[in-house]
Amino acid sequence: MKAGEWTLHIGRKFTENANAQLGDFTKEIALELYKRVIDRSPVGNPDHWQINIKRKRKRGDPGFVGKGYVGGRFRRNWQISLHTPKTTSVLGLDPSGEATIAEGELVLAQMKEPARVYIVNNLSYAWRLENGWSPSARRHGGCDSG
């Protein structure tokens, strides 16, 4: 080796190792935040809808609003991406959040080096849910990761 090559080699290896560790740490933190946001996201329950509460109606009562309703659209619409945020919404339901988390894990597995990670929900009512519109969201501390 020529003078200085050894230093460059060590410096390059150090940088590669540091980037790999930082990438792994970023994935770990991003996935944990993603799981928490999804877990804290409310799933619709017609029993708690104001219209049913005000009318004192329960499931099976005539005039009950939400018969046949299945929640999980809000949880399904959490999306994780690298470098640029998603700008669309997703069709379907995921009341448990498991399928949405699995998709997020696949996205994060593609990260080979540190990257900017975006977690978004583009449903028109996402902002309202995050800011206390839903009694369920308030009980769970909102949808933030705190």
pLDDT tens per residue, range 134-143: 665 555 444 4
**Domain region containing 69:** 5-139
Residue keyed to tokens 């977690």: 119
Per-residue CA distances from 141 to 29, 74, 137, 138 (Å): 20, 16, 6, 5
Stronger pLDDT, 118 or 53, i.e. the higher one: 118
What does the chain come to in residues? 146
144 in any annotated domain: no
96-113 pLDDT per residue, tens: 999 999 999 999 999 988
Q: What does the block give as tokens for 90? A: 């997703």
Put simply, whether the predicted model's pTM sits higher than 0.85 gets the answer: no
Contact 110, 23 (CB under 8 A): no
> Over 80: is that where the pLDDT of 122 sits?
yes
With respect to residue 94, please indicate whether it lies within any of the assigned structural domains.
yes
Residue 129 lies in a domain: yes
CA distances to 9, 14, 75, 91, 100 from 96, rounded to whole Å, are: 49, 42, 8, 15, 9
Number of domains within the chain: 1
Residue at 68 is within a domain: yes
